[in-house]
Amino acid sequence: MGVYLSTPKIEKFSEDGENDRLRFGLSSMQGWRATMEDAHAAYPDLDNLTSFFGVYDGHGGKAVAKFCAKYLHQQVLKHEAYSAGDIGTSVQKAFLRMDDMMCGQRGWRELAVLGGKIDKVSGLIEGLIWSPRGGEANNHLDDWPSEEGPHSDFHGPTSGSTACVAIIRNMQLVIANAGDSRCVISRKGQAYNLSKDHKPELEAEKDRILKAGGFIQVGRVNGSLNLARAIGDVEFKQNKTLPAEKQIVTANPDINIVELCDDDEFLVLACDGIWDCMSSQQLVDYVREQLNSETKLSAICERVFDRCLAPTAGGEGCDNMTMILVQFKKPVGSGNSSSEQQPPLTDQTPITDKSTLESGS
């Protein structure tokens, strides 16, 4: 579904980078869609030990995806659990924090700026002028204070975004996912899904949707949204008797924590514009083939887009496309050269949920 252009926009916006632990390449392309609603974040040095990568696939507009790309990693860093070494809890709280931050006058204004509906300098929007009261001094976001004004009762955006994030520290990989973007790792050429596509027909998602008062029609939540978890989408989060984790649509991510080994070659984060066209194993096989002759990782992402792009508008290969490819540099003297020393990965690697994170079991 969606509005398509008469000719696809195939210009690609790409970036490459590296540090002593890994190298990465990323790219994004609008394609046949009338607007570009994907966003991404890549911070190989989030701190001295940690790398952060994220893809965000917006729906109903680009504002929420851009908001996540701008702020989610900051909130991961800020949470007290992060300082204590508990990355899983800090990233889970950061996902939920996005919905809180997008409420009120300040949230409304920031979304309007990111969505291109307000001029940040003049403050003009559809003939109205806002007057900020406090908040963004020196661009500090420590407390994200609320602001009074004409949109102080703004409950959040009706648009939304998926979020799929990979955080790497030493030999630990933490994946957080809400929605149907996906993270896949290649271990000795075998593709393993490190995230679960949150579609409404999954039993756990269906159970939560129905208990919260929603319904599923033609594979869509309340007949409209074709994914069961997302940041934003405030109209699906209005049950005042339920916590955020149990709303019809929730921003609460699955958290998957994996110990890396020397057999782990690379990981891919991508929006569903890629996965609609290629399976996880097909993409891993293609990337491995390209790595034999191409050293620029963003160029491999670009070739994936060209391979997936539909020849005509309509159907698979017509979505926005965003992909991040992260290649691991082999650790020196790790003494961990075989995947046999690691717990086996499966295509349905167990996901650590909120209760497990909190109990430490």
Question: Are the C-beta atoms of 62 and 36 separated by less than 8 Å?
Answer: yes
| Amino acid 354: pLDDT | 34
Q: Where are the domains of the chain?
A: 4-61+157-340
- Residue 144: predicted pLDDT: 83
Q: Which residues pair with 59 in a beta bridge?
A: 160
DSSP 28-63: EEEEEESS--EEEEEETTSSSSEEEEEEEEEES-SH
CA 273, 17, 41, 198 dihedral sign is positive
Which amino acid is present at 297?
A: L
Q: What is the pLDDT of residue 331?
A: 60
Is residue 228 within 8 Å of residue 205, measured between CB atoms?
yes
Q: Whole-angstrom Cα distance, residue 304 to residue 342?
A: 30
Contact criterion met (CB below 8 Å) for 149 and 130: yes
**Contact criterion met (CB below 8 Å) for 60 and 160:** yes
CATH of domain 4-61+157-340: 3.60.40.10
Please choose, from the candidates 263, 269, 298, the residue with its C-alpha nearest in 3D space to the C-alpha of residue 190: 263
Residue 4: strand pairing partners: 33
Q: Considering the entire predicted model, what is its pTM?
A: 0.89
Q: Which residue ranges of the chain lie beneath pLDDT 50?
A: 1, 126-141, 332-335, 337-341, 347-361
Rounded Cα distance, 164 and 358, in Å: 21
Give a three-class secondary structure readout of 59-101: ECCCHHHHHHHHHHHHHHHHCHHHHCCCHHHHHHHHHHHHHHH
- The whole-number pLDDT of residue 117 equals 82
